[in-house]
Chains A and B, each alone.
Chain A
């Protein structure tokens, strides 16, 4: 297998807050191989956004990196100078945001914004426009030439998200980070965008880091899944393994809660009891223990590490 394009190793990030140190990410390991689509699932507050911010080095000023490294083709992103990291952003690593209604500048035309992304290229305006047109065509926007002179508010949410994807892929990045790109769209559009992303991924050969809390989307799109809980990776592996044979109790419960899997008509949707632990005062031992049904004494005292070769699980009980 190739060397990973992006290799997150033992990454821990915390925020200095008034209450104390909020440990948002703890010893996170995620390798992303070239051309693979890796999905990250987890509920709100599990550290997905912090992880993205850490990769593109746009963490809030009160954040500190406690340990670990983020290797980009072998170089540690955390060691790079601000100029060097800026050169990577938008060129090698691109991003698509959650809400297409706010991720485009409302007062500039689509064409202007799309030529603007190519600010590193020494091409003529006409060439940049032509490239923008081709790109819009590839993401499935009808009459691309016409759209270039329109403003974002002329377009629907799905269209805007396509424009955002086109902009992100403009520089043919090695890694595309998609932060819940379909959450703000309705179900039909979601499917369209997912298929389009798959198609584009095959054409461009870039790796995709796909963040979502929609399990169906992850199952449909991703090659590999990383399940995060409260700032830790609790289970990771191929999509097939994790979805068909979930071994961490959190993953099992998460899958049980997926409305798509509920066969019987019911008044009450299943929930995972309890809530996320306080990240300032973490419990000893396993971070999921307070909400876990099957915990044993060992879970109280000892924090389980992520173990396994392909299908990794962080649970004392999963090893048997």
Chain B
């Protein structure tokens, strides 16, 4: 375990020297903390309607103003982050795990299995995501779980393909042959030799994928295909504010800024991880 702790420490030290990556990390951590402690930090109940104070601008009572039903926009943004977080966490971990498994099977297994899986990946990817989402929602009705399901189904091929390519590149390496010659089983080779080699690109991909998933959830919720009415989500905040944009732009701005920040934060972080996790640059001075 000392090894792993050393690895994390080394990564973090390298990250601290990279200002862009550090900015990304700070943004990411701030957003995580704000959404995790939304219940403590929110000044109001995000669902509480106050029709006497609808569409007021920012004030000391309502930092980000109120929406068309007089609900506090700041509270709604904080709680909306929870939806975004939940969707990205569940969707990305499930699709990454499934993609990892299928991708390794395709990359390391027999040729016919590879062909079958690649055809499946390509078929799934050939649907335009929004059309796919619209048709699924039309069948099942809008709900957050449907959104998560749609994101998982459309993301598995992305992860699967990356893992497959990486595994194939690993497969013919001498050290894999050496492991075989030393009597290692296929499962052992995959877990102890292939996985550590492909973990870095996978983590980077996942980090870069967060904004895409958050954006997709917001997009579907904006179209009314995601969360149902009173639940706050960044997308539904945008949708609520959209009709009142001319007179009261506050909800739109407040709903949009976290989306931008999430995108920037995770992208910076992912970019920086990509440089750091390259084992060939590691500990050699290299970029840092």
In angstroms, Cα B181 to Cα A168, docked, is 10
B103 → A minimal CB distance (Å): 18
Q: Which chain B residues border A99 with CB–CB below 8 Å? A: 174
Q: Is the CB of B3 within 8 A of A89?
A: no
Q: Which chain B residues border A116 with CB–CB below 8 Å? A: 192
Given contacts A108-B193, A154-B283, contact A89 B177 (CB under 8 A): no
Q: Is the CB of B196 within 8 A of A103?
A: no
A99 → B minimal CB distance (Å): 6
As a 0/1 sequence over residues 144 to 176 of chain A, the CB contacts with chain B under 8 angstroms (1 = contact) are 000001010110000000001001100000000
B48 → A minimal CB distance (Å): 52
Max count, chain A CB within 10 A of own CB: residue among B175, B178, B179: B178
In angstroms, Cα B211 to Cα A185, docked, is 48
B70 → A minimal CB distance (Å): 56
A115 → B minimal CB distance (Å): 10
Q: Is the CB of A91 within 8 A of B279?
A: no
Of A89, A109, A112, A149, the residue contacting B182 (CB under 8 A) is A89
Q: Is the CB of A95 within 8 A of B182?
A: yes
As a 0/1 sequence over residues 64 to 108 of chain A, the CB contacts with chain B under 8 angstroms (1 = contact) are 000000000000000000000011111100110111001111111
A130 at the interface (CB under 8 A from B): no
B86 at the interface (CB under 8 A from A): no
Max count, chain B CB within 10 A of own CB: residue among A98, A104, A106: A106
The stretch of B88-96, B183-191, B262-270 that contacts the partner chain: B183-191
Q: Is the CB of B184 within 8 A of A102?
A: no
Max count, chain A CB within 10 A of own CB: residue among B175, B180, B181, B282: B181
Of A94, A97, A119, the residue contacting B184 (CB under 8 A) is A119
Q: Which residue of A lies closest to B181 (CB)?
A: A95
Q: Is the CB of B283 within 8 A of A151?
A: yes
As a 0/1 sequence over residues 118 to 132 of chain B, the CB contacts with chain A under 8 angstroms (1 = contact) are 000000000000000
Of B179, B184, B280, the residue contacting A153 (CB under 8 A) is B280
Residues of chain B in range 126-184 having any CB-CB distance to chain A below 8 Å: 173-175, 177-184
B6 at the interface (CB under 8 A from A): yes
B53 at the interface (CB under 8 A from A): no
Given contacts A149-B6, A154-B283, contact A103 B185 (CB under 8 A): no
Max count, chain A CB within 10 A of own CB: residue among B6, B183, B196, B197: B183
Given contacts A119-B188, A149-B3, A153-B279, contact A105 B181 (CB under 8 A): no
Given contacts A87-B183, A119-B188, contact A95 B279 (CB under 8 A): no
Given contacts A103-B175, A105-B193, A116-B192, contact A151 B282 (CB under 8 A): yes
Q: Which residue of B lies closest to A94 (CB)?
A: B182
A282 at the interface (CB under 8 A from B): no
Q: Is the CB of B173 within 8 A of A102?
A: yes
Q: Which chain A residues border B185 with CB–CB below 8 Å? A: 86
Q: Is the CB of A103 within 8 A of B178?
A: yes
Given contacts A102-B175, A116-B192, A119-B188, contact A90 B181 (CB under 8 A): yes
In angstroms, Cα B200 to Cα A103, docked, is 20
Q: Is the CB of B175 within 8 A of A89?
A: no
A16 at the interface (CB under 8 A from B): no
Q: Which chain A residues border B193 with CB–CB below 8 Å? A: 105, 108
Q: Is the CB of B181 within 8 A of A112?
A: no
Q: Which chain B residues border A167 with CB–CB below 8 Å? A: 182
Q: Is the CB of B197 within 8 A of A89?
A: no
Given contacts A95-B178, A97-B177, A97-B178, contact A88 B183 (CB under 8 A): yes
A58 at the interface (CB under 8 A from B): yes
Q: Which chain A residues border B173 with CB–CB below 8 Å? A: 102
A56 at the interface (CB under 8 A from B): yes
Q: Which chain B residues border A168 with CB–CB below 8 Å? A: 182
Q: Which chain A residues border B6 with CB–CB below 8 Å? A: 149
Of B181, B184, B197, the residue contacting A107 (CB under 8 A) is B197
A63 at the interface (CB under 8 A from B): no
Q: Is the CB of A89 within 8 A of B196?
A: no
In angstroms, Cα B278 to Cα A153, docked, is 12
Residues of chain B in range 239-273 having any CB-CB distance to chain A below 8 Å: none
Give 29 CB contacts A-B under 8 Å: A58-B180, A88-B183, A89-B180, A89-B181, A89-B183, A90-B181, A90-B183, A91-B183, A95-B178, A95-B182, A97-B178, A98-B174, A102-B173, A102-B175, A104-B175, A104-B178, A105-B175, A105-B179, A105-B197, A106-B197, A106-B279, A107-B196, A107-B200, A107-B279, A108-B192, A111-B3, A117-B182, A119-B184, A168-B182
8 more contacts with CB within 8 A, not counting A106-B197, A117-B182, A168-B182, are A89-B183, A90-B182, A91-B183, A97-B178, A106-B280, A107-B197, A153-B279, A167-B182
| Chain B residues at the A interface, C-beta cutoff of 8 Å | 3, 6, 173-175, 177-185, 188, 192-193, 196-197, 200, 279-280, 282-284
| Chain A residues at the B interface, C-beta cutoff of 8 Å | 56, 58, 86-91, 94-95, 97-99, 102-109, 111-112, 116-117, 119-120, 149, 151, 153-154, 164, 167-168
Which 8 pairs from chain A and chain B are nearest by CB?
Answer: A90-B182, A90-B183, A89-B183, A102-B174, A95-B181, A103-B174, A105-B175, A103-B178
